[in-house]
Structure 1
Amino acid sequence: MTDAFVDFFLRNKFVILFYLAVVLFVFLNRKKFNFYFKIIALYRTNWGIKLMDKLAEKYREPIKLFGYISIGVGFIGMFFIVFVLIQSIYTLFTTPNAPPALTPILPGVHVPGVPESLFIPLVKGIIAIFIVAVIHEFSHGVVARAHNLTIKRTGIAIIGPFFAAFVEPDEKELKKRDDITNYSMVAAGPVSNIVTFFILFLLISFAVSPVINSIYSPSGISFSSITDDSPAANAGLQTDVTYTMINNQSVTSLADFLRAFENIKPNDVMSISNSENTYFVETGTNPDDNTRAYLGVNIYNRLAGDTTTSFKIVSWFTSLLSLIGILSLGIGIANLLPIGPLDGGKMLQQALHKIRGEKKGNKTLVHLSLFFLLVILLLLTPIFRETAKSIFGIS
């Protein structure tokens, strides 16, 4: 138990120091923060309010239209995430060793039980979450201002180990407005994140990647991560090493690798090589499809010249954009969950008040919130179990 505990903290020492520094910063500046439930710290400012006013004044009708469209998209997203959660519960109980359907967003932390491909680097993660949160909350605020609702304050929130942002509309004014105004302001936040994902996806796919590929030619494939105790790990394959041959076939790109891998079955022995070494890998069975082979790797293209400083800078910013896009989609959809404090919960509360009245509507929302919180806890049990193993050596 002691060895596992020490090993966990050594692997995450810089991240632990970072979060301790955040706690120390909040403690030293505690008079500037407002605290709720002892784990929520809010730093209130007026940042961004003038910009919201300018945009709302100049583009009032387009912003209102975005808010109205967000209502429909928001409810569709709510039904989608509910469907995904229910399906994930079914998978949890019917598919042994299925990958976790949910994972906490903890930059810099190698969360036990979560595939290494989902690891979020500390610096990129903090930057990406900040940008996603700013877009989310700014969208709430600018739609509110387009409807002439007062924004009292904006600010930064620290909720345990998580970072967030917030805007504070005048709640008294909000209660006097019609349902459509309320819906549009609430839905604008998560929908703006979903829109951000699609914008960045198109930008990277049709602008950034083609430019990079036109400058740097493919030279092989590498593995960004290798799952512990997987066929690839047991064969001695390494991350960030260039490989150019699969079963004696030349491989210069991910597409080449996938074509070569199509003909390989579970328990086949395949060779993966470069100019220096050849590795023989006995493939496993894909956990999602027992007819397909499994290596336990995440693959990316290697490009000639990708060790230069200029390429590393371009690659870093490209991966940051990718991370912003992925987190935008995940956080946007997650915020549409029908759980009390989330945007989806606020939208559902508004609808339930209309359908069942305020008292019965609130009661129904509490029951639904508790149900979905239980679902989330169940989906996180594989991670809790692996975390206990990693920290305390509990099997």
Structure 2
Amino acid sequence: MASTVVIVVAAITAFWLILYTLFGKKEVDPETGAPVEKEEGLSVDFLVAMWRTKRLLGFIDRVSRANRRFWKVYSDIGIALGYMGMACVFFMLLTTALKTLQTKESPAGVQLVIPGVTIPLWYGLIGLAVVMVVHELSHGVVARAEGLPLKSVGLVLLAVIPGAFVEPDEEELLKAPLRSRLRVYGAGSLANVLTAILAALLISYAVSPLLTPNGVEVGGVIKGTPADGVLQKGDVILAINGESTKTMDEFITVMNKTKAGETITLRVLREGKELNLQLTLAENPDNPGKGFIGIHPVQHVASRVGHEGIVLPLFFALYWIYVLNIGIGLMNLFPLVPLDGGRMLDDVIKEYLPEGVARPVRYATIGIGLFLLALNLLPALLNLAG
């Protein structure tokens, strides 16, 4: 594990050294000698690479002009969603943080999104790409519908985290009326939530009818439990003691018949081969006296119509598009600058409170936000390190 981490860190370091050597030189204003940000092309700074282009600006203009009234209503909904989502996310993170402080436990709060590590690689990359594209395009279209100029669109790489952006003219944005700014800020998360709803509808009404339950998959093995060393992540449990466990309900029903200390036989599908495995159950921590295997069970599915190489990837791609859009879209409304929720709250504070009051309120908001975020990120960081 340690050697793998060293190799990965070395590879990332080498990549950035090469990239900075080739593209890190900044253009300089001949009159002042000050660095000039490139309007187009690739620019590289310390662990930040940005590729800008103006080619999509015409497309964004055409979309924004198609029905300006629609985009204004759309973005007003985004403002309402923004403040409701802000309150919801703040409450959830506050509740989790208080539980952490009171019980000294570390319940799940903010989850890290790292394709290939904390989420599946390819489905994660597809989901993140959709998140970024719809989020940034929504910002850009609403900005143009409000008459605000855009400088460029492009892609960004922050260390190892890819992203996309629409770059408004910040000076013009700051001069715009408060409602116009709020419309721009709220539009991104609204697009993510609408995309998540669309993905959920496609899963429910187009893809799920093509699927059938086909066992309980081992989503993960808990260390130090009976399953540790016997079952592997990705195994599919088809039966326990000869009783079918094709659905989660069947799995729960069978496990409720077992007792701690009992030895059971599992019929497991592993890499296309069926195996019979035995293990002795521990006591279920949530149901004393009952048996406990020590896995994170996940419903495994198969296609009713065949073509599993198409149906199943489509299902999982839509599932991760749904999960990442709803999760990242709402988390982006957390009231902490530079997130959109933070900018929405910050602009309202500056607009309606006198400077002498607004400044301490803003600092208090930043401090509380960072504290809550740290408490909620801690379990995810510990899990990643452990």
TM-score normalized by the length of structure 2: 0.82
- % identical aligned pairs: 27
Q: 155-164 or 332-341: which moved more?
A: 155-164
Q: Say which structure, 1 or 2, has more relative contact order (CA 8 Å, 6+ apart).
A: 1
Encode CA deviations 1:14-57: one digit per residue, 9 max, x unaligned: x9747854764465333544456x33332221243222111111
Q: Which has the larger radius of gyration?
A: 2
AA aligned to 1:224 is: G
Query: What is the match of residue 216 of structure 2?
Result: 221
- 1:271 corresponds to which of 246, 264, 270: 264
Change (3 A) 1:368 1:172: same
Residues 284-295 of structure 1 correspond to what in structure 2 (within 5 A)? 284-286=283-285, 295=294
Native 8 Å contact 2:220 2:296 kept in 1: yes
Encode CA deviations 1:78-125: one digit per residue, 9 max, x unaligned: 01111111111122234465443122222223xxxxxxxxx2233332
- Deviation, structure 1 residue 144: 1.1
Native 8 Å contact 1:335 1:343 kept in 2: yes
- 1:350 corresponds to which of 347, 351, 355: 347
TM-score normalized by the length of structure 1: 0.80
Residue 128 (1) aligns with residue 127 (2): yes
Task: Give the secondary-structure state (helix, strand or coil) at the position aligned to 2:342.
Answer: helix
- Deviation, structure 1 residue 317: 3.1
Native 8 Å contact 2:227 2:279 kept in 1: no
Residue 338 (1) aligns with residue 344 (2): no
Change (3 A) 1:271 1:46: farther
Query: How many residues are treated as equivalent by the alignment?
Result: 364
Task: Give the secondary-structure state (helix, strand or coil) at the position aligned to 2:219.
Answer: strand
Unmatched segments (≥5 aa) in structure 1: 110-118, 391-395
Residue 154 (1) aligns with residue 147 (2): no
Unmatched segments (≥5 aa) in structure 2: 26-40, 268-273
Native 8 Å contact 1:248 1:271 kept in 2: no
Query: What is the match of residue 76 of structure 1?
Result: 84
Native 8 Å contact 2:76 2:183 kept in 1: yes
Encode CA deviations 1:283-324: one digit per residue, 9 max, x unaligned: 45457x879875322322243799x8x413432232122112
CA distance in 2: counterparts of 1:263 and 1:76, whole angstroms:
44
Native 8 Å contact 1:220 1:243 kept in 2: yes
Residue 50 (1) aligns with residue 58 (2): yes
Query: What is the match of residue 370 of structure 1?
Result: 367
AA aligned to 1:237 is: L
CA distance in 1: counterparts of 2:99 and 2:140, whole angstroms:
39
Native 8 Å contact 2:196 2:323 kept in 1: yes
AA aligned to 2:217 is: S
- Deviation, structure 1 residue 358: 4.9
Tell me which protein shows more helix as a share of its residues: 1
Change (3 A) 1:94 1:280: farther
AA aligned to 2:51 is: Y
Residues 238-317 of structure 1 correspond to what in structure 2 (within 5 A)? 238-262=232-256, 267=260, 269=262, 271-274=264-267, 276-286=275-285, 295-303=294-302, 310-317=307-314
Encode CA deviations 1:190-234: one digit per residue, 9 max, x unaligned: 1211221121112112211212x2xxx544333233233334225
- 1:326 corresponds to which of 304, 323, 326: 323
Query: What is the match of residue 116 of structure 1?
Result: none
Task: Give the secondary-structure state (helix, strand or coil) at the position aligned to 1:252.
Answer: coil
Task: Give the secondary-structure state (helix, strand or coil) at the position aligned to 1:256.
Answer: helix
Change (3 A) 1:194 1:93: same
